[in-house]
Amino acid sequence: MRRRMLLVGLWAATTVVAVLVGVFAVSTVGATIRDRGPVGDEVARDVSVSSASVPEPEGPGVSEEISGEWGAFLVECRDTWAYGVGVRPDKDAGWRIVSWEKGPDDDVDAVFSDGRNSVDLEVFCNRGRPTLAELERNTLGED
């Protein structure tokens, strides 16, 4: 009986340790995946930007236009919040807007399409400035 109780106790302790290790691993990996677009103080120092040019949280917003053959996506940063201000597809080349996010959010997205291809932009605020986090190009099917 004593041996059985010892084995049950060891099994319970092993189970608790395994669950704690699993929770720690999932929360660490999950945090890494979610932080694709770092905001605020999490951003590594960008030495190309002088500290005087980084806007204060109460300061005015900083706008930039992310553009390419698809058109343009105008994004404004106010502190760590991104706002999609407007989109302008290159209609002459056949591009149109599929969707775009106005925010405020930690990042904003815009999707452009010309019927055969799509371009998905993700923009976040890096030290108060709009920064392209991801540009994904896709070839669409015949449907």
Which residues, at least 6 apart from 94, have a Cβ–Cβ distance to it below 8 Å?
Answer: 114, 115
Does the pTM surpass 0.85? The reply is no
Distant-in-sequence, close-in-space partners of 68: CB < 8 Å, separation ≥ 6: 119, 135
What is the 3-state composition of the chain as percent helix, strand, coil, each rounded to the nearest 5? 30, 40, 30
Q: Helix, strand, or coil here: 8?
A: helix
pLDDT of residue 23: 75
Q: pLDDT truncated to tens, each residue of the chain (143 aa)?
A: 888 888 888 898 898 888 887 877 776 665 545 444 444 333 343 444 454 454 445 567 899 999 999 999 999 998 888 999 999 999 999 999 999 999 888 899 999 999 899 999 999 998 889 999 989 999 887 65
What pLDDT is attached to residue 60? 75
